[in-house]
Amino acid sequence: MSPPLSPVRTRNAAATRTAILEAARRRFAHEGYDRTGLRDIASDVGVDAALISRYFGGKEELFEEVLTCGPNIAEFLEGDREGFGDRVATMMAIEPMREEKFELFLIMLRSASSPKAAAAIRRHSSEAFFQPLEAWLGGEDAAVRARVLSCLMMGATMNRMIHEDYLLDDSQRRELCDALARTLNHFVSSDV
């Protein structure tokens, strides 16, 4: 993808590890587990692919570590509760798609169909996604509401992935955004 990752990195193992993890996270989010080659990641970092296997053990372990130290739902939960629906819906239906904001979703959506990646995703989706969301939601039925919200957000991201513009004109996209925002807010605040 884009070359400049860490400015200088001369024989610094820790910095190289971090740079590999960052490059891997971006690649996995943009291309998915299967379509990301160790050589791609290595060339992003400016390093030999063999190094990745030596540092992380293999592609699966690298993916696992990306998820461990990776992005989570937290940044979606910043701000006031009443504004949650509008913030998320606007991000998903109106604003230009900034893939780096959706890395968690994209990694899940684009890698979940790969059996090896799916196992790791299953292992980590709870702590990176559902637990924080449920805690933020609060209430007895938080688990169920979190699932509905996750359906909406995943589905919206998926739609956006498939057809960038949703095949809608501007006013329809605003209507869609409103509908999503209201539905999201409904499950943020109310009982199911």
Partner DNA sequence: GGGCTATGTCATCAGTTGGTGACTTCTAGG
Partner DNA sequence: CCTAGAAGTCACCAACTGATGACATAGCCC
Binding residues for its own copies, per CB under 8 A?
Answer: 31-32, 34-35, 108-110, 112-114, 118, 121-122, 125-126, 130, 141, 143-145, 147-148, 150-156, 158-159, 161-163, 166-168, 172, 175-176, 178-180, 183, 187, 192
- Report how far apart, in Å, the C-alpha atoms of 44 and of each of 58, 66, 117, 147, 158 are: 17, 16, 21, 36, 26
* C-beta of 53 vs 183, nearer to DNA: 53
Total residues belonging to the chain: 192
Helix (H, G, I), strand (E, B) or coil at 6: coil
* C-beta of 11 vs 163, nearer to its own copies: 163
Chosen from DNA, its own copies, none, partner binding at 49 (C-beta under 5 to 8 Å by type): DNA
**168 alpha-carbon distance from chain centroid:** 24
Residue 98 near DNA by CB under 7 A: no
- Least separation in angstroms between CB 29 and DNA: 15
Chosen from DNA, its own copies, none, partner binding at 122 (C-beta under 5 to 8 Å by type): its own copies
96: number of Cβ within 10 Å: 6
* C-beta of 12 vs 68, nearer to its own copies: 68
Can you tell me which of 18, 30, 40, 144 binds DNA, judged by CB under 7 A?
Answer: 40
How far apart CA 174 and CA 176 sit, in angstroms, is 5
- Least separation in angstroms between CB 1 and DNA: 14
Chosen from its own copies, DNA, none, partner binding at 142 (C-beta under 5 to 8 Å by type): none
Q: Which stretch binds DNA (CB under 7 A): 50-58, 76-84, 87-95, 160-168?
A: 50-58
- Contact predicate 79/41, CB 8 Å: no
114: number of Cβ within 10 Å: 16
End-to-end CA distance of the chain: 43
Angle at the Cα of 132 (from 32 to 25), degrees rounded to 5? 25
Contact residues toward DNA (CB under 7 A) are 9-14, 16, 36-40, 46-51, 53-54, 58-60
